[in-house]
Structures are given as C-alpha cells and as structure tokens.
Structure 1
Amino acid sequence: MILPGSTSQALAATLADVAGEPLATVDYRTFPDGERLLTADALAEETPERAIIVASTTTSDAHVELLQLQDAAREAGVDEVVTVIPYMGYARQDSAFKPGQPVSARAVARAVSSGTDRVLLVNPHEETIAEFFDVPCETIDAAPALADPLPAALADPLFLSPDSGAIDLAETVRDAYGTGDVDYFEKERDYDTGDVEIRPSDATVEGRDVVLVDDIVATGSTMSESIGVLHDRGVGSVYVTCVHPLLAANARTKLAAAGVEAIYGTDTIERDVSAVSVADALAAKL
C-alpha cells in the first residue's frame, strides 16, 4: 500500500500504477496552532504487509507529515515500512559549515530512520547523505530521464553543469540524449571588486543549443546569470534541466527574463515543469 505525503500525491499515484500497489487516500489537516494531523482510513480497514510512504520533504511541515505517516503505518501493525523521499529537504546542510551549527541532513536522516525499515532517495545533493541513515538507504539516479523531453534535433548540443563537481550529471543526460559535448561553468572572483565572472571552461557556445543540467534549481540566481552569459556569447537556444525543480520565490521569473527556452524537471517536486516521472526508477527498486 502506498501512503502519499501531501507534497507527492501525483508521483504516489503514478508509482502505484507502475508498481501495481494499492494507493491509500490520506486526509491532511492543520490545526489553528499550526500542528499537522493526517488520517489514512485505509490503514483502519486493513493492515497491509508493506507500507510505502512517498513524501518529498520540501517544507518542515512535510517532514512532520512523513514521520506521522511512518507512525500511522507502525500503529496499524504493518510489517515493513519503506520510505521513499523523492526530494529530501535539508540535504544541502550535509556538514556543520560553522562552529555551533548542526549537520541538518544527519539530524533529519536519524529521525526518518526511527520509523522505517529502509529508505529510497532520488539524487540527493551528495551521495554520502545515504550514510547518515541508520537503516539501509539506496540512492536512485533520475538524471537519464531528463533527456526525454528535450527537442529531438538540438543544434550541435552542449550539456553544461554549474561546476566541475556536477559534470557527471551533465554526462548522464548527454549519454541518455545520445549526442553532444559536455562542459562546465567556471567561476572567477575579482577580489578587488568582488565581481564574479561565470563562463564555460573550454567549449564555444556560439550558435549552439545549450542544455544546463543541475540536480536542483532553487532560487534560480546562478542559473539565470549563466543563461545571460550564454546569450552574451551568441548561444542558440538555452534549456534548463534539473532533477528537483524547487523553483523558490521568483526563480521562474528570473529564468524567463534571462531568456531560457524551456525548463524541464522531474516530479520529485511537483511543479508545472515536471515533464518526466521518477516512478519507473522507483518501482524498479521496490
């Protein structure tokens, strides 16, 4: 039985269809004091052998919902609880950046571990985050699916990652697309003025279609600046692909104003740009 968090209802429904699992309807409530309560009537009617919780933790409330879903399954007497976290919030805080700060990803992982038998993560910000869990945790790479919505005839395509550390992601999307070059952006700071220059490290972009590839687009500031640099250099069309289209605040406006042709993401975070689903990749691991 699949139990969806409020942030992952569409993905949960798709996964239920792909995996052949029953989908539970969950009622979500918020009390006047801000506390959350959920009810899964299906758990009262029958006790499945396995409960699969599907919940992206895009907010702190979503984290609480996930823990409540786990506890509801345990309370109902479910033998096995599998927790699918398509997008894990706090994952970018994977170390204590300053003295006195927590390792938030570790704190969240420990909390999740207390109510589940195993965890599936989709493209966490760092693979090592899986080690924070006290139960078996498997990571799933959804990047190949990002090639699917791209136009079939890109002009001399170039797949660009935001830095050298993410070039594997760009290579994965390029390989799935079937053709094209791969490069990454370099950032150079002028310490006298404080200005930062962003530029592709080696490849020329003039007249070429460029696909920007990242694991997550949050505020869109760096991505929109990169798009501007590409247009200054005579690029053809610019496409943005990301596994997790968080697109917080005015990110969409920034990208549009910078001249992006299209944005494609997965349904780890359910947005209007969620052009492909990670359900098949998840179902293969259930």
Structure 2
Amino acid sequence: MDLKVIVGPGCSSSLSEGIQSKIAELTKSDFQLTVCTETDFADGAVLTQIDENIRGADVYIVQSTPPPERNFMVLLQMLQAASLASAGRVTAVLPYIDIRQDRKDRPRVPITAALRLQAIEQALIAASHKHVMFLHPHFPQVQGMVRLSTDVLYPTSSFLLVANDITGSDFSQVLPVAPDVGAAKLAAHYHRRLGTGSYAIGDKRRSDNDQAEIKSIIGWIVGRTAFIYDDIIDTAGSIKALAAKLRELGVDKIYVFATHGILAGKAIANLQSAGIEKVFITDSISHDGDSLPSDLIQIVPCGELLGEAIWRNNTNRSIHAIDGMFDR
C-alpha cells in the first residue's frame, strides 16, 4: 500500500524531521510527509483536515498528546478522518500519550488510561485495518487494554550510544539504577546490555502530600557512576530524592536517562539542584521554543526509530528486529 505519514502538531520539529529523513533513506526516495491542517474556532474548538487523497493508503498518524486538552482531540480527529476517508490501514503512532492512571489507586477516581484507549479504538472504528504503536508506555500491560494489534518501541539503542560516549565503552564502574520497583526491569535490561556487574533499585515511598522519598537503595553503589533509568521525568521530584540518597551512600557521578521529558512545574529547578552531571531525554515530547539548560539537559532524537518502525510495518518486516527492542 502507498505509504502516507501525518505528523501532528503535538510533535517536535526534530521528531518530524527524523521520521521523514529515515523513511526517505529506507525507501531510497524523496519521501515527504502528508500535511494535515488544523482550524481553530473562537470557542476553543478545533477541526482537522487531511490535505490530500489517502484512499486505500497505509496511513500513519503520529501525535504526542501534551497538552492533552487540545492535542488528544486532534489525535482522535486525525484518526477518524483517515478512517472515514477509506484508508487501507490506519496506524496511531504515539510517541507519548498521558495514560499513567492504569487502575483505581484511591476511592472514586477514574482509570484514565482506559478512557484514552477506548477513545482511540472508537476513532478507528471505521478503518478496515487498524494498529497502534507506543513509544515506551508507562506500563507494559497497555497492550492488553486496547483491542487492537500493537507494537511497543524503546529508544534503547540511542541511549546505549550516549552511554558509550560518556564512558568510552568502559562500563566497569557504571551502575544502572531504577528509581523504584516499577522501573526495575528497565534497569535490569540496561545492566544486561551494558554488561555491568549489577544494578540497583530505589525504595520509593510517597508521603501524604504526594512528595517522593527514597527510603533506601538496594545494591552496592559506593564509588560507582550511577545511570538512572526511567520512562518519565515529570516534576523531577523523584529524581532529586534519588540523587540525594545516591550521594549520601557514596556514588561518584549521576546521569539520568528518561524517554519522556515532561519537565513540568519545578522540574528544571529540581534537576539543577540535584547534583546531576547530565539528563538525557528523547524528543517524544515537544520542547520547541522552550529554553532548556543545554549544560544539563540533552535531547536524544528518536524520530529515526519511529521512521524505521513505520517503514517496517508498511513493508511487513519485523519490528522486533530493530536493535534495542526488549526481549519478549
């Protein structure tokens, strides 16, 4: 099927450029992205329109949702528009989607992850063939919450290249660290890929006012260089608390790797005061126009990863064959 890729307004310019250039490289063509126009109305509503014929095409809608009030609605509209335009297949490619609430963890709250995914399913209902790609979702069971075929992608190979640059490929003193039990599998994966002697896990608790506290760290860390791995940096409160505990227990240097840099509220101030050498985030969330401190935060592009995954799906090749995907 003819390949069409639409990158929504929630995505960064670097992500868009990375997707386009990678597909052009793999297809050995002058591949160009398909344009989608958004019209804003005075009452705050938005209407999207795909600007070219996509009938029978293999269509990929790439959209990150922050801020969700607008960008999630734009995502749904683009998916439905492609489905109603008789595309041969419609795939939602989600660099970042805010689906962290996967259960009722307190009385009288919704399961917002289910609401988001049900809305995506409904938007795709008219599509004859539909698919979803996630980039490092907050919880892996997301694949079981949506009644569609899915792929999960990870920026592992990009972060491994950064780790090589930091250490000169000498990982003898490197210690992958998970902020909590939820990130333990992530730290264990990098422990295996880097060939480090061990990895560590933080014992994170939250107080009544939702402040993160690291009670202890499981693992031997004295004199080591800590590589903290997590999926999201939101306000960076957990990272700051973990860095303080690592310093207290004798770690030498601290680097942070996180796929999604939300960087909300006091995140920058928290990171600047945490004694961290460098923070690496991908461009899954747009910071176009933001003044991020370049001496502290480095953006690692992931557009080429998404571009290759799109090309592989379009040509019926294995997604798992992409270097850095987790072993199933």
Pick aligned residue for 2:236 from 211, 220, 242: 220
Instruction: Give the C-alpha shift of residue 198 in structure 1.
Output: 3.0
Instruction: Give the C-alpha shift of residue 101 in structure 1.
Output: 2.3
Partner of 2:148: 135
Amino acid of the residue matched to residue 120 of structure 1? M
Instruction: Give the C-alpha shift of residue 65 in structure 1.
Output: 0.7
* TM-score, normalised relative to structure 1: 0.87
Pick aligned residue for 2:89 from 68, 71, 80: 80
Amino acid of the residue matched to residue 13 of structure 1? E
Instruction: Give the C-alpha shift of residue 78 in structure 1.
Output: 1.5
* TM-score, normalised relative to structure 2: 0.77
In 1: Cα distance, 2:233 partner to 2:206 partner? 22
1:22-52 deviations in Å (ceiling 9; x for gaps): 3123333432322122333234xx6461110
Q: CA RMSD, aligned part only?
A: 2.6
Distance 1:177 1:42, change over 3 A: farther
May I ask how many residue pairs the two structures share in their alignment? Answer: 280
1:83-124 deviations in Å (ceiling 9; x for gaps): 1111121x1111122343221111111111123311011121
In 2: Cα distance, 1:143 partner to 1:270 partner? 20
Instruction: Give the C-alpha shift of residue 72 in structure 1.
Output: 2.2
Instruction: Give the C-alpha shift of residue 17 in structure 1.
Output: 2.3
Q: Does the Cα contact within 8 Å between 1:221 and 1:254 map onto a contact in 2?
A: yes
Helix, strand or coil at the partner of 2:162:
coil
Pick aligned residue for 2:20 from 16, 41, 45: 16
Partner of 1:175: 192
Pick aligned residue for 1:112 from 106, 116, 120: 120
Is 1:6 aligned to 2:19, yes or no?
A: no
Pick aligned residue for 2:299 from 270, 274, 277: 274
Larger RCO: Structure 1 or Structure 2 (Cα < 8 Å, ≥ 6 residues apart)? 2
Amino acid of the residue matched to residue 57 of structure 2? E
Helix, strand or coil at the partner of 2:105:
coil
Partner of 1:63: 72
Distance 1:195 1:224, change over 3 A: closer
Partner of 1:200: 217
In 2: Cα distance, 1:88 partner to 1:129 partner? 11
In 1: Cα distance, 2:205 partner to 2:46 partner? 46
In 1: Cα distance, 2:95 partner to 2:278 partner? 23
Instruction: Give the C-alpha shift of residue 269 in structure 1.
Output: 1.7
In 1: Cα distance, 2:35 partner to 2:59 partner? 13
Partner of 1:255: 271
Distance 1:67 1:230, change over 3 A: same
Q: Which moved more, 1:259-268 or 1:276-285?
A: 276-285
1:156-201 deviations in Å (ceiling 9; x for gaps): 111100123321101222333343531111246899xx99443321
Helix, strand or coil at the partner of 2:167:
coil
Pick aligned residue for 1:103 from 97, 111, 114: 111
Is 1:26 aligned to 2:33, yes or no?
A: no
Partner of 1:122: 135
In 2: Cα distance, 1:62 partner to 1:77 partner? 23
Amino acid of the residue matched to residue 226 of structure 2? V
Is 1:165 aligned to 2:169, yes or no?
A: no
Helix, strand or coil at the partner of 2:65:
coil
1:4-33 deviations in Å (ceiling 9; x for gaps): 111224323322322345312333343232
Instruction: Give the C-alpha shift of residue 204 in structure 1.
Output: 2.5
Helix, strand or coil at the partner of 1:16:
helix
Distance 1:261 1:71, change over 3 A: same
Q: Does the Cα contact within 8 Å between 2:138 and 2:231 map onto a contact in 1?
A: yes
Q: Does the Cα contact within 8 Å between 1:161 and 1:167 map onto a contact in 2?
A: yes
Q: Which moved more, 1:73-82 or 1:254-263?
A: 73-82
